[in-house]
Amino acid sequence: MEMNRRGFLGAVGRVSIGAAASVAGAGHAAEAAAGGHIPHWGMVVDLRKCIGCQACTVACIMENDVPEGAFRTHVSVYELVMDGQDPAMVMLPRLCNHCDNPPCVPVCPVEATFKAENGEVLVDASRCVGCAYCVQACPYDARFINHQTQTADKCTFCYQRTQAGLLPACVETCVGGARNFGDLTDPDSEVAKMLSENEVSVLRPEMHTNPNVYYIGLQDVLAGRVAGEAAFHPAVLTEPGLTGADAHGEGA
Amino acid sequence: MEIQELVGAVHHVAWLPWAVQYFFLIAISTTAFLLALPAFLLGREAALPRARLALMTAVTTGITAPIALLADLHQPGRFWEFFVYTNASSWMAWGAWFVPAYVGLLVLFAWAVHRPAFHACGQEDWRFAWIFRWLSLGGSANGFARPLGYAALFAAILVLSYTGAEVYVVKARPLWNTPFLPWQFVATGFVGALGVMLVLERVLSRDGGTEAQLNRRLALWLGVVAVLGAAWYGVALSGISPRHTEALASVAGFPVWHVLAIWGAGTVAITFLLALLAPRNSGWVTGLLAIHAAWMFRWTVFMGGQAVPKVGSGLYDALLPAGIAGLMGVIGTFGLWLFLVIAYTTFIPWSEAGVPTAGKTAAPSRPASQF
């Protein structure tokens, strides 16, 4: 019993230190911005650490008031059966890649979507006409029409949080530390170190969008359109949401 | 390797059936307008019967199309922003300028073509003569119809270009990102326009000669559609163009797409044979089949194209919902078009439209009592 309590308290301590470090990391970047250096935000997703818990999906929905049936981020889950091997579960967190060459920006007829100073691709909802041209142009299916605002919606890297020196909600809530966020141009940042120390991939490199979301441990078969079978797809015009047996059971 | 997607996100179709209606109607309008030009711009009197039907088709579908486009905006009240915040790198932004220019010039051209008849109706002694005097603006000269027609022709080409380019540039959707697509829009536009003209001809004039002429042209454009479709398929199969190969691969494994391909090819083949072999007695059938083919092509491109996930597995369903964004929207658009056709044929002396002349045009011989 004593061992358990000690273990529990130790774990709490590690979690607290980890959270403080994360916030401090964003705060450091904010200070750098104040000193004249403009951070270029990016995310490194270590797929070896993702357990597919969807905590990031829920945190994003709660932080950003994402309407039911839509997602700014979610974790795709695949079962891979390689020749002669046992089936393997593979997780793939998906979100806007905040591309440096974003295909969604030039197609917007009213310049409502734009590349912000820190590299985020944002939507000015007060200007968006809801034409959904950007939704079509995004090669990552990362945009959608928010049927509460009737405008284009997407991940902003939690702009409201990063402006306040906080981490995006999905990063802060990530249980396994799979999602890492920071200034890609700061060699001392955690994400910059991860990029230099690991072999990383991006989704759909053939689209030449120069994404700012990198993956460690991404299998080639999952980098583009996944040529597999979907377990369950509800009617797209009427029942949008997460698919799959688990999600369906939750009423998605 | 076998892959099963256990959890993924399904995405709404972002361009609703309204978009299908818009691209269908605007293609019919612009191509029908082109079919009206041999008579009204080049002065070929023999082409007048079909040119009158073509102009009616162009005007009625040309007015309906932008309304369907507006309905596809999720913030239709902000349409004015297209003109205030124009993004020059967006084909859609250019379209916001091209479409009103085309529709405005088209309506002005149609008015100029009909002006002599308006004037004649206004000179007679009957209850609504004052309306036609007002419509004719007190004169019958319509020499300015030709420059208006050339301007509208330029605008129609711009509209045809932008509608094709707007979809073609979307690299994220391999089915759309093909240089064949703009030409397929044009060719199927002609098919749809000739289909509408055939139906109108059967309803309004029942002139066997015109029916045969329209059917022969329909067969020609169906041939162009078949050649373009075969070329697309050949390029995709050959592997010389990765984007076409990817487009074919993205749908080839799904039985629903096999049905669509057979259905489309069958419709084109049957309509082609009917139009070619029985041009005088098949107007109703070939006309309706042609309309169906042109509409189905756009449904397949837009709704079918959006049902292909960009990153996920499988296909989303591309069903036609019953609500205002689906079936009711489609029916409503056709209802508006039908209303405009009834209004056009009721209030406009369309069958009197002649070749525009530089000087004053002789008044048509039909008495106003026939309206």
Domain coordinates of chain B in residue numbers?
Answer: 13-169+321-354, 188-318
Query: Cα separation of B59 and B341, whole Å?
Result: 9
- Nearest-Cα distance to chain A for B62, in Å, is 20
Tens digit of pLDDT for each residue in A27-74? 555 565 566 789 999 999 999 999 999 999 999 999 999 999 899 999
8 A C-beta contact, residue A70 and residue A208: no
Going by CATH, does the domain composed of A2-97+158-249 fall within 3.40.50.300?
Answer: no
pTM higher than the cut 0.80: yes
pLDDT, averaged across chain B: 92
Tens digit of pLDDT for each residue in A116-164? 999 999 999 999 999 999 999 999 999 999 999 999 999 999 999 999 9
Find the angle CA(A114)-CA(A119)-CA(A122) to the nearest 5 degrees: 35
In terms of Cα–Cα distance, which of A245, A68, A144 is closest to B306? Answer: A144
Q: What is the DSSP letter of A41?
A: E
> What's the confidence (pLDDT) of residue B370?
47
- Nearest-Cα distance to chain A for B31, in Å, is 25
Confidence of residue A14 (pLDDT cuts 50, 70, 90): very low
The helix (H) or strand (E) run that includes residue B17 is helix B17-40
Q: What is the mean pLDDT of residues B145-164?
A: 97
In terms of Cα–Cα distance, which of B142, B151, B275 is closest to B216? Answer: B275
**Residue A181's beta-bridge partner residues?**
A43
Query: Cα separation of B220 and A211, whole Å?
Result: 47
Query: Cα separation of A77 and A89, whole Å?
Result: 7
Locate the chain B residue with the closest alpha carbon to A107: B90
**Residue A206's beta-bridge partner residues?**
none
**3-class SS of residue A114:** strand
Q: For residue B237, what are the CA distances in angstroms to B82, B119, B177, B180, B240?
A: 40, 59, 16, 15, 8
B319 touches chain A (CB under 8 A): yes
Query: Cα separation of A59 and A172, whole Å?
Result: 9
Parallel, antiparallel, or unpaired for β A213-216 and A41-46?
parallel
8 A C-beta contact, residue B163 and residue B66: no
> What's the confidence (pLDDT) of residue A12?
41
Tens digit of pLDDT for each residue in B76-133? 999 999 999 999 999 999 999 999 999 999 999 999 999 999 999 999 988 989 999 9
In terms of Cα–Cα distance, which of A49, A96, A76 is closest to A212? Answer: A96
Q: Domain limits of chain A?
A: 2-97+158-249
Query: Cα separation of B9 and A80, whole Å?
Result: 18
8 A C-beta contact, residue B139 and residue B99: no
Tens digit of pLDDT for each residue in A121-131? 999 999 999 99
**Residue A88's beta-bridge partner residues?**
A80
Q: Any idea of the CA torsion for B157, B163, B168, B173, to the nearest 10 degrees?
A: -170
Tens digit of pLDDT for each residue in B2-39? 899 999 888 878 999 999 999 999 999 999 999 999 99
> What's the confidence (pLDDT) of residue B361?
47
Query: Cα separation of B353 and A221, whole Å?
Result: 63
The helix (H) or strand (E) run that includes residue A2 is helix A2-34
> What's the confidence (pLDDT) of residue A228?
81
Pair of tokens at residue A128: 């968006």
Query: Cα separation of A123 and A119, whole Å?
Result: 13
- Nearest-Cα distance to chain B for A11, in Å, is 30
> Measured between beta carbons, which residues in chain A are less than 8 angstroms from residue B169?
107
In terms of Cα–Cα distance, which of B15, B13, B114, B104 is closest to B66? Answer: B104
**Residue A151's beta-bridge partner residues?**
A146
Parallel, antiparallel, or unpaired for β A144-146 and A151-153?
antiparallel
B162 touches chain A (CB under 8 A): no
> Measured between beta carbons, which residues in chain B are less than 8 angstroms from residue A129?
73-75, 78-79, 81-82
